[in-house]
Structure 1
Amino acid sequence: MNIIQDNHEIRWSRPVRVQVGYGFPEKVHGPKEALDYLTHRWPVREGTYYLKALKECAASLQTRMPLERVRRTFVMASIEARMLG
């Protein structure tokens, strides 16, 4: 399983780099941080992968889910929103 435990927070094996607006790329390290980006910093709150990432990130904090699947969905949402850094 590709997770890293850091201060009781589940993290992906590799962070996802996203770029919010015209800022510098930022690293998203796991589903909790991704959920924060999706709910508070995402420029477009629609799209197939956005909605799927929102659901999977939230669910992964409550139940065991394959984290690489959640990461892939977040990457696809980042591509969909043209935010992949």
Structure 2
Amino acid sequence: MKMIFSAGASRWPEPVYLRIGYGMPEAIRSPKEARNHLLFRWPAVRGEKYNSARSLCLEAETDPFLCEYARKVFIEACIEASVLD
């Protein structure tokens, strides 16, 4: 039996909802989406949790065992930046 696993398709069981500025709430469903938000949509003030989340989300894209931990750290970064909805 062959098992095929696509590491790039890892998704979280529940999305993380955030709101940047006065925008609409956004659902982040995977480490890849989280990393894109961290890199391109994040507020200018970036703290310690931001750096951890950014690197961990990158690693979680290729290592499915880090997926849940990346979600936890991403939520902490959202709290730190006051964007968790």
**C-alpha displacement at 1:46, in angstroms?**
2.3
2: CA distance, partners of 1:23 / 1:55: 26
- Aligned equivalent of 2:50: 50
Indicate the structure with greater helix content.
2
- Aligned equivalent of 1:4: none
- Aligned equivalent of 2:19: 19
Q: Check conservation: 2:10, 2:64, Cα contact below 8 A.
A: no
Q: Which runs of 5+ in 1 are unaligned?
A: 1-7
1: CA distance, partners of 2:64 / 2:22: 35
Match for 1:53: what amino acid? A
- State which structure, 1 or 2, has the greater radius of gyration over its C-alpha atoms: 2
3-state SS of the aligned residue for 1:14? coil
Change (3 A) 1:52 1:30: same
**TM-score normalised per structure 2:** 0.84
Q: Check conservation: 2:45, 2:81, Cα contact below 8 A.
A: no
Q: Check conservation: 2:59, 2:66, Cα contact below 8 A.
A: no
Match for 1:18: what amino acid? L
3-state SS of the aligned residue for 2:10? strand
2: CA distance, partners of 1:72 / 1:39: 18
**C-alpha displacement at 1:68, in angstroms?**
1.5
3-state SS of the aligned residue for 1:23? coil
User: Considering only aligned residues, what root-mean-square deviation do their CA atoms show, in Å?
Assistant: 1.7
